[in-house]
Copies of this chain bind each other. A is one copy, B any other.
């Protein structure tokens, strides 16, 4: 690359993410180093106990991480993530995930995501580490 990557618009990334779209995630806000997503828990998100599947909650946080860390314009790849589940999510709940950047060095980035329900209770606390490649985020889906 000949210079710093140009920031890419987060709405364009979110709009072409098939997994996010299929699960019903909505972008509330996003920019370099931050993103906020929303998801209403519907039948498709339920596990065999009738609660929102933990994989849905993780996916919502992970999607926010992906947008926040790729918005800088270069491809950032998740290396690891940790989630603590604190409150169950139920059918009809509206969840929001807010990703914020804790640190960004030449090669790495660390992000925290808080998932809350409409009452403001913490549903999950998520931490993720990304590796910053030198490749620009493509403006079209490959």
A residues within 8 Å of B by Cβ? 13-14, 16-20, 22, 43-50, 53-56, 58-60, 62-63, 66, 70, 75, 77-88, 102-103, 105, 107-108, 110, 112, 122, 125, 127, 129, 131, 137-138, 141-142
Whether A84 pairs with B48 at a CB distance below 8 angstroms is: no
Q: Is the interface of A mostly helix, strand, loop or mixed?
A: mixed
Give the chain B neighbours of A66 by CB distance below 8 A. 47-48, 53-54
Residue ID in chain B nearest A60 by CB atoms: B55
Give the chain B neighbours of A141 by CB distance below 8 A. 48, 50
Whether A112 pairs with B125 at a CB distance below 8 angstroms is: yes
Whether B78 pairs with A80 at a CB distance below 8 angstroms is: no
Residue ID in chain B nearest A50 by CB atoms: B142
